[in-house]
Amino acid sequence: MSPTLVAEQLLNGLQFGLMLFLIAAGLTLVFGILDILNVAHGSLYMAGAYVAAQTMQVTGSLLAAIVVSALVTAGVGLIIEIVLIRKLVLRDHLAQVLGTFAVILIANDLVKMIWGPAPMMMNMPASLSGPVHLLPDFLYPAYRLLIIAVGLATALGLYLFVTRTRAGVLVRAGASNRQMAMLMGVRVPLLFLGVFVLGAMLAALAGALLGPVSAIQAGMGEQILILVLVCIVIGGIGSMRGAFVGALLVGFVDTAGRAFLPSLLKTFFSPAVASSVGPTLAAISIYVLMAVVLVFRPAGLFPARG
């Protein structure tokens, strides 16, 4: 196992974890402030990916694809919040799950109607398609470095927003005590709308950035949502810091498992057994991590109201 391979997989894990955080951050904001179990959050990620791919085909600009994707998905999120989420705030969590699950079914069918059932491809910008020399003997894809940079910048921006701005103070006040915030004059419906739209834009950003390196297809939102929920449970439901740490842990564990477990098993089993068992063990490693964390920290690593 060479140091170059380890460094490459660490960067892959960081990139994957930061993308999970972009989705988990939006879902954490929605649940922490609105107390809404929005299982349709993955559909906003899917919408962002499709809109970005379509824009990329028309303009050839990644920046335009990201901006248009974020704006269109923000509009979709605004409609969903006004039409559905405001009604579900007053209902129990079971009704919220059922109501937002209906959005998943509608979104998947709409995607098939507009773009067809076949997977859609998003072209990678030519200027970012090559590798970058990080060390004399270490090459790493430029586009993945861009994803890491955008993910870190977004995480820092969210931290500053929540902790250093007046809007962030209102968000934390609404999360801590909604009734008291209303009595203090906070326009809670407008706050909720802004939080939901921000979460939709973060999901769209993740979808647009991952479009060139992953398949864009109907149902992709549900696949990523499972991993995002694991991140949130590990970090602590409603905690932004917990979502960040949980996403990085899941990213590193999942990447390391897929990269190193098959090779490790070959020292004890035949290559055929290692090749078949390794990916399976790697797939369940993140759930083992979640179980271990919950045994010692039932509320997660950084519970929002710990």
- Condensed to tens digits (0 to 9), the pLDDT of residues 1-11 reads 677 777 888 88
Q: Nearest Cα to 107, choosing from 58, 30, 56, 39?
A: 39
pLDDT classification of 306: cutoffs 50, 70, 90? very low
To the question of domain 3-128+138-296 being in CATH 1.10.3470, the answer is yes
**pLDDT value of residue 110:** 92
CB–CB of 65/208 below 8 Å?
yes
Query: Does position 270 have pLDDT exceeding 80, yes or no?
Result: no
Say which residue the tokens 């921000």 belong to: 198
> What's the rounded mean pLDDT across residues 282-299?
88
Read out DSSP for 82-124? IIIIHHHTTS-HHHHHHHHHHHHHHHHHHHHHHH-SS-B--PP
CB–CB of 203/48 below 8 Å?
yes
Q: How far is CA 90 from CA 64, 84, 257, 284, 287, in A?
A: 38, 11, 42, 36, 32
93 or 222, which is more confident: 222
Q: Domain extents for the chain?
A: 3-128+138-296
Q: What is the largest CA-CA distance in the chain?
A: 67
For 300, left (φ over 0), alpha (ψ -120 to 50), or beta? Answer: left
For the chain, what's the residue count?
Answer: 306
Q: Which 3 state secondary structure label does DSSP give 61? A: coil
Mean pLDDT for all residues in the chain: 84
| pLDDT > 70: percent of the chain | 95
> What's the rounded mean pLDDT across residues 214-221?
86
In whole angstroms, what is the distance from residue 101 CA to residue 118 CA? 23
177 or 112, which is more confident: 112
pTM: 0.88
